[in-house]
């Protein structure tokens, strides 16, 4: 068996051509598709949503039909919140899609697995803030990550006869909170009612520990003499 046999064999030439075609398609898919898909997501999807869409990186493995998007973000609508230019409406650290090879036969996506890593969705309330009513037996504790809700709700809460008003966050966060309230016209006698940082366990980020820390401080501040009197 020599080289002339391979050159004269029709089925071997077709097989070699098929292999070259597959490798060419794989190469195009691996090199070209990621940048094309990134552009399509950032332009067309952004136009349809009416918001800025950004994608950090796109990876595609055509031989296994695996697609990965890194740092996928959809910006907030302009003017919905003071932090709209900084914090995206939707952010996904990593989106992984594993498609089946049947997708090529059916000419439709057949997905085997989808994985989301660190998804974050921010919702903005555009209407009037809800009315918060309290009495002498009420404790208000603010645990918001975004401060927009705090700025909207705290002024009305400070007029309520609650036995405790607290807000989580660092000392720096609390100082900034007081500055924003003062700029909004809230008097110092009212802002002095806010206990911050709040919680018996300092600087905890674990949800269970944070809940226990808050409840412990609320229980410690509960008006015990009133309970004995009742």
Establish if 128 belongs to a structural domain: no
Tell whether 177 and 112 lie within a shared domain. no
- The token pair at 180 is 């924003």
Establish if 216 belongs to a structural domain: yes
Tell whether 147 and 208 lie within a shared domain. yes
Helices 10-31 and 33-40, packing angle to 10 deg: 40
Tell whether 148 and 222 lie within a shared domain. yes
Measured distance CA(164)–CA(92) in Å, rounded: 37
Establish if 2 belongs to a structural domain: no
Last-in-domain residue among 121, 155, 171: 121
Does an H or E element contain 4, and which? Answer: helix 3-8
What pTM was estimated for this model as a whole?
A: 0.49
Which stretches of 75-152 are assigned E, i.e. beta strand? 90-99, 111-121, 139-142
Establish if 164 belongs to a structural domain: yes
Please count the structural domains in the chain. Answer: 2
- The token pair at 183 is 């700029």
Q: What is the pLDDT along the chain (230 residues), one digit of tens a residue?
A: 555 555 556 666 566 555 656 556 656 665 677 888 888 889 888 888 888 999 999 888 877 778 899 999 999 876 555 544 567 889 999 999 887 777 667 666 777 888 999 898 887 666 666 778 888 889 999 988 767 778 888 888 998 989 999 998 888 988 999 999 999 898 989 999 999 888 888 777 788 888 888 898 998 888 765 444 44
Which residues are bridge partners to 60 per DSSP? 67
**What pLDDT score does 230 carry?**
43
- The token pair at 99 is 């498609």
Structural domain for 79, as ranges: 32-121
CA angle centred on 134, ends 130 and 139, rounded to 5°: 105
Establish if 185 belongs to a structural domain: yes
Establish if 126 belongs to a structural domain: no
Tell whether 106 and 52 lie within a shared domain. yes
Q: Domain containing 168 — which CATH number?
A: 3.40.50.720
Long-range pairs for 11-18: beta carbons < 8 A, 24 or more residues apart: none
């Amino acid at each position: 068996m020599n080289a002339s046999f391979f050159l004269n064999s029709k089925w071997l030439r077709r097989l070699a051509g098929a292999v070259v075609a597959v490798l060419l398609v794989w190469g195009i898919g691996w090199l070209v598709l990621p940048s094309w898909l990134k552009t399509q997501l950032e332009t067309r999807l952004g136009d349809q949503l009416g918001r800025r869409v950004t994608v950090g990186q796109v990876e595609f493995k055509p031989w296994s039909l695996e697609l990965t998007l890194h740092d996928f973000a959809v910006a907030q609508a302009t003017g919905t919140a003071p932090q709209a230019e900084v914090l995206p409406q939707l952010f996904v650290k990593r989106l992984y899609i594993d498609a089946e090879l049947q997708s090529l036969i059916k000419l439709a996506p057949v997905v085997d697995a989808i994985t989301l890593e660190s998804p974050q969705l921010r919702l903005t309330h555009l209407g009037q803030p809800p009315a918060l009513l309290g009495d002498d037996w009420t404790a208000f504790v603010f645990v918001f990550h975004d401060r927009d809700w705090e700025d909207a709700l705290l002024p009305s809460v400070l007029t309520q006869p609650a036995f405790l008003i607290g807000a989580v966050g660092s000392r720096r966060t609390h100082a900034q909170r007081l500055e924003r309230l003062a700029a909004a016209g809230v008097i110092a006698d009212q802002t002095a009612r806010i206990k911050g940082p709040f919680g018996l366990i300092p600087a905890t980020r674990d949800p269970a520990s944070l809940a226990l820390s808050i409840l412990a401080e609320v229980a410690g501040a509960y008006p015990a003499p009133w309970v004995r009197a009742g």
